[in-house]
Amino acid sequence: MLARRNPQLNAHGELIHLLSIEGLPRAVVTQILDTASTFLSVNDREVKKVPLLRGKSVFNLFFENSTRTRTTFEIAAKRLSADVINLDIAKSSASKGESLLDTIANLSAMHADMFVVRHSESGAPYLIARHCAPHVHVVNAGDGRHAHPTQGLLDMYTIRHYKRDFTQLSVAVVGDIVHSRVARSDIHGLSILGVPDIRAVGPKTLVPGDLREMGVRVCHDMAEGIRGADVIIMLRLQNERMSGALLPSAGEFFKSYGLTPEKLALAKPDAIVMHPGPINRGVEIDSAVADGRQSVILPQVTFGIAVRMAVMSTIAGNQA
């Protein structure tokens, strides 16, 4: 019997939706990164727009708020000449009791060509991809604790930009890993691209032990976790985690796992510091590091637009 096909790929192995980095062939990931570098140079043109999605409608469906991610998708779609419709679903239909699939059916009747979906429930973008018309493409812009594939891809782009070769790298992902869809997407991306040393660093309550099965080294000691690293990916500590029993306090967390210049000195001298934003200064990262010469946090934002352009134009050009 044939193995069940990855729902993101068509029969030719081409990407038609982006739902998760997990299970993507390395060639698909590499092609997105290569395409993104072409789009990065579109910013240098007199006309900062290309016509690939001209006449297409991209619907941003944010069932969970995220101004920044929504804005970067909007800019990316507009640079590809798409018409962009932003729906603040959290405040509209869903609150009137409409089901997710009814919302999608209605928007499809408005001739949507692409849905960019952010949802608090893991798997919501899969459900939409399974039920939408064959010509419609879906991009996961973050679902629950599951995946945030465009953030993962832009992180891979950033690492490749500064480090070139993945196969010699030590990468530490630090902080609240258990709740982080960014961490999960990054770890899948790093594995696919052949990073030999991936470390997950954080307190026992915030780092799942089963990461070891994915070939990840789990470290509960910050010094051990970042020593000799080429890349340090700091995660945002979500304030809401503080209320539970998972953490004593933000101050305690900073003392043990916050990235300070002293701790950063344990990594390689040319190590880069990344963060998906928004950053909490003095909680997971010291201002001196966030604004320091090793920080690539703002370039990540710039690369993010090019990577999202690459994702949208790649899937829009492939048929189901």
Partner 1 sequence: MLQLDAEGLYAELRAGVRGLLQADAVLVGIWSGGAWLAERLHADLQRPGRPGVISSTLHRDDFGSRGLAGGADPTHLPFEIQGRHIVLIDDVLYTGRTIRAVINELYDFGRPASVKLAVLVDRGGRELPIEAAFAAARIVLPSTQKLSLARDEAGRLSFTVEELA
Q: Taking CB under 8 A as the rule, does residue 38 contact partner 1?
A: yes
Residue 30 vs 302, nearer CB to partner 1: 30
SS3 at position 196: coil
Q: Taking CB under 8 A as the rule, does residue 318 contact partner 1?
A: yes
What gap in Å lies between CA 237 and CA 119, rounded to an integer?
A: 19
Pick out residues in 6-25 that bind partner 1 (CB under 8 A). Answer: 14
Q: Taking CB under 8 A as the rule, does residue 43 contact partner 1?
A: no
Pick out residues in 69-108 that bind partner 1 (CB under 8 A). Answer: none
- 2, 3, 11, 47: which one contacts partner 1 (CB under 8 A)? 47
What gap in Å lies between CA 234 and CA 175, rounded to an integer?
A: 6
Q: Taking CB under 8 A as the rule, does residue 31 contact partner 1?
A: yes
Q: Taking CB under 8 A as the rule, does residue 213 contact partner 1?
A: no
Q: Taking CB under 8 A as the rule, does residue 157 contact partner 1?
A: no
Distance of CA 266 to the CA centre of its chain: 27
- Find the DSSP H helices in the chain: 26-40, 67-79, 100-109, 124-131, 149-163, 181-192, 222-226, 239-243, 250-257, 261-264, 287-290, 297-316
Residue 54 vs 204, nearer CB to partner 1: 54
Distance set, CA 242 to CA 208, 250, 252 (Å): 18, 7, 11
What gap in Å lies between CA 258 and CA 295, rounded to an integer?
A: 14
Residue 235 vs 306, nearer CB to partner 1: 306
DSSP annotation of 230 reads: S
Q: Taking CB under 8 A as the rule, does residue 302 contact partner 1?
A: no
Write out the residues near partner 1 by the rule CB under 8 A.
Answer: 14, 31, 34-35, 37-39, 41-42, 45-47, 49-52, 310, 313-314, 316-319
